[in-house]
Amino acid sequence: GAGVSQSPSNKVTEKGKDVELRCDPISGHTALYWYRQSLGQGLEFLIYFQGNSAPDKSGLPSDRFSAERTGGSVSTLTIQRTQQEDSAVYLCASSLDPIGGAQYEQYFGPGTRLTVT
């Protein structure tokens, strides 16, 4: 079946504008994760969804960042009043339910490259 898809693939925006990044996980994957990858840095966890709930938002860097997931499927990451330091590749990953310690790999989407000018 189809893998994880993200849109847009590239986004250039002016400082201060809002942006929305979309993730379509693999069908049937209940767990969804957002990560950010900055140049020379490792992947940085942002938020975790189990179904439509986000039990862990601890990775969101500021209150300008928010995310939601609807229908246990599509997720949207919104960045308000973008800053230059928000420039990075935003990656989404999904997996089967990791409950009980079950080990399932995370499948990553191709990412959205965000550039804030």
Least distance in Å: CB of 94 to another protein?
10
d(CA 48, CA 83): 23
Nearer to another protein by Cβ, of 67 and 111: the residue is 111
Parallel, antiparallel, or unpaired for β 88-95 and 31-37? antiparallel
d(CA 70, CA 96): 17
Nearer to another protein by Cβ, of 80 and 110: the residue is 110
The footprint of another protein (CB under 8 A) covers 4, 31, 33, 35, 40-45, 48, 50, 55-56, 91, 95, 98-99, 101, 103-111
Question: Cα dist. 109→3, 15, 97 in Å?
Answer: 7, 26, 18
Nearer to another protein by Cβ, of 84 and 103: the residue is 103
